[in-house]
Amino acid sequence: MDDAFIERRAVRMYDVYCAAVGGKAYDGRPLPTGAEFFADAGKQKQADAWRAVARMVSVGQDMSFGEALDVMRSGAAVRLPHWSPEVCIRMQVPDEGSKMTHAYLYAQSRFGCVPWVPTQVELLSMEWEVAR
């Protein structure tokens, strides 16, 4: 799991928290947006705490397929826990030398790599995890 994924998730968690408390601090002042909060040098200790929480909850707990796509965009692989341990899903992003013109998903196992299209059950699963 890369730092960019954790950062996006931490900012999103902070924004959800702010919305849940009405967008105001205990003293009634408006809370900063996630982008402002994480960019504020005076808030780094608190921002690091949000990152730590995001890292903890991102280890195979409540990860949707959308979040799994973010993980794959960062270059990591994902899997569902009930699959064989060596099976994972990766994203191939084409470059200038590629024959393909769009990103695509593929399954990787000890037998090699094949194109992969998720089922409805896999799309709606909340059990995606980062492959080790």
Share of the chain above pLDDT 90, in %: 60
SS3 50: helix
Residue spans per domain, the chain: 3-57, 65-130
pLDDT in tens, 40-83: 999 999 999 998 888 777 664 578 899 889 888 878 899 999 99
| pTM higher than the cut 0.85 | no
Contacts 24+ apart (CB under 8 A), 77-82: 77/108, 77/130, 77/131, 78/128, 78/129, 78/130, 78/131, 79/128, 79/129, 79/131, 80/122, 80/125, 80/127, 80/128, 80/129, 81/127, 81/129, 82/127
